[in-house]
Structure 1
Amino acid sequence: MVKFLKRFFTKHSFISLFTFNFHKIDDNFYRSAQPTDKHLEEIIKKYNIKTVLNVRGEEHKNILASQKEICKKYNVELITIKLHSRGIPSKEKINRLYEILTTSKYPMLVHCKSGSDRTGLVATLYCHWIKGKDIKEIKQLKAFPYLHFKHSKTGLIDKYFEEYLKFKQKNPEITLIEWTNKYMDRDKIQKEFKENGIFKFLVDKLLRRE
C-alpha cells in the first residue's frame, strides 16, 4: 500500500486523488491533471475526445507508454510537448502551441501533472486564439477552482500575459503571437519577477509542481 501511494503521488499529485482537477471549458476543450489510465479512457469515451495534449514531455516513460496504448485503442491523436510551470514560455513553445491548437482535431483534452499551471496556459491560449476571447476576460489561471498560484514562480505564466497586455495598450494592432516573436524580452521578465516565500513553499514543497 505504501509503495502504491508513493508511486501514485509521484505520477499524479494529491489533487488527482480526489478530482483529477478536471474541468470542461466548452464542448471542444477539456483540462485536467494527470489522469489514471481508467480515467483517461472514461474521458475519451464520454466526451468523444479526438486529441490528447500531454504537456509534461516524454520523461515519464511508463505514463506515456500507457497513454499511447489507450489513444491508439480509441483512434485518438496523442501530442506531447514539454512545458514548464515556473517560467515564461519560449517563443518556440508558443509557436508550437499555436500550431497544435489551430490544426488539431477537437474535442481535445489537455493535461499536465496537476492541471493548474501549464494546462491553464494552454487553456488561456485556446480561449484567446480559438474562441476569440480577450485575454483580460479569460479566467483559466485562477487559484479557485484550478489551484494555480500566481505569487509563486508559477505566476510567470500570468506575467507572460500581463506583459503583453501592457504592450498592447500602446500597440493595439500587435497580436499575442507577434509580440511573443518580435518584442517579448523573456529573460528580462523572468529576472524581474519576485515570488512570495510562502507560496514558493506551497508550490515547490507541498504541491511539488514540475
Structure 2
Amino acid sequence: MSRIARWDRPLAGRLDRLRAWSNMLLADHGIFRLAYLNAHRVTPRLWRAAQPAPTDIAWFARQGVRTIVNLRGGREHGAWPLQREACERHGIALVEFVLRSRGAPDRETILGAGAFFASLEEPALVHCKSGADRAGFFSALYLLIHEKRPLDEAMRQLSLRYGHFRFAKTGILDAFFEAYRREGEAKGIAFLDWVAEIYDPARLEREFKTGFFSSLIADRLVRRE
C-alpha cells in the first residue's frame, strides 16, 4: 500500500517529476514503449494502446482524443501522476475501467460496460500496460456491445498482432468469448443475456488450461502485468 500511496498524489517539483519519469521508464518498462506504443485505431471513435507517456498524450490530444480510459487501476507506478498531469494540461478526461488479464472476467463489470461506453466523451483512447490483453478485451467488448459488431470481428482485437498470447494465462480472455460462442451465440442468446444468466466464471477458471511456452514468454520474458 505504501508503494501505491507514493504515486497517488500530485507531483511536487522537478525532482519529484524526474523520479516519476524514472519509475515509469525503468520499473514499469516504459523505455520500451517509447520505441513502440502498440497504438491502433479500433474505430474512428476509439484508439487502443499501451501506457502512454506525457508526450504520447500530447500527440493523442492533437488527434482529437477527448477521454483516456485507464484499465490498469492502482497507483503503483510513476506513470499515473504523469498521465493525470498531462490529461489536465490538454483538457482530456481521465477515467478508469479496471480489468484483469489473467482471470475470468467479472460478471458485474461486463454488465456495466454498456453504460460505461455510452458515457464516454469520444474520441477515446483505452490503454493497459502493454496494449495487448486488457486493451484488446476492452476493444472487443466495445465492438460487441456498443457497436453491435459480430463476435468474430470483436475477437480479432485479441490477436498476436497486438502481442496477445491466447495460450498463455491471458488466453482466458479468448476462452470467455469462446464460451459465449458455444453456450450463447450458437443458441441465439444475446451476449449480455448470456453474461447475466449463464456465464460461470468459476467454471471458466477451472476448465481453462495454459500452454507452458506461451506462459513462459508472456509472464517471464515479456513480463506482462
Q: Would you call these one fold, judging by a TM-score over 0.5? A: yes
Structure 1 residue 51 corresponds to structure 2 residue 67: yes
Taking the aligned partners of 2:152 and 2:194, their CA distance within structure 1 comes to 16
Q: CA RMSD in A?
A: 1.9
Aligned length: 204
How does 1:162-181 map onto structure 2 within 5 Å?
162-172=178-188, 174-181=189-196
Q: Which has the higher contact order (CA 8 A, sep 6+)?
A: 1
TM-score by length of 1: 0.89
Q: Which amino acid aligns with 2:28?
A: K
Deviates more, 1:158-167 or 1:10-19: 10-19
Where does structure 1 differ by over 6 angstroms across 4 or more consecutive aligned residues?
A: none
TM-score by length of 2: 0.84
Report the equivalent of 1:156: 172
Report the equivalent of 1:200: 215
Taking the aligned partners of 2:185 and 2:93, their CA distance within structure 1 comes to 39
Structure 1: gaps of 5 or more residues: none
Q: 1:54 to 1:6 in 2, by over 3 A?
A: closer
Report the equivalent of 2:83: 67
Return the match for 1:113 from 129, 137, 149: 129
Taking the aligned partners of 2:31 and 2:175, their CA distance within structure 1 comes to 26
Taking the aligned partners of 1:81 and 1:169, their CA distance within structure 2 comes to 26
Please list the CA deviations of residues 30-78 of structure 1 after superposition, one character each: whole Å capped at 9, or x if unmatched: 0000111111111122x21111000000233532222222222222211
Report the equivalent of 2:55: 38
Report the equivalent of 2:41: 24
Cα offset, 1:142, TM superposition: 0.5
Structure 2: gaps of 5 or more residues: 1-20
Q: Which amino acid aligns with 1:115?
A: G
Q: Which amino acid aligns with 2:70?
A: N
How does 1:64-143 map onto structure 2 within 5 Å?
64-138=80-154, 139-143=156-160
Please list the CA deviations of residues 171-201 of structure 1 after superposition, one character each: whole Å capped at 9, or x if unmatched: 30x2212211221110111111110110111
Taking the aligned partners of 1:102 and 1:7, their CA distance within structure 2 comes to 31
Q: Which amino acid aligns with 2:205?
A: Q
Deviates more, 1:197-206 or 1:64-73: 64-73
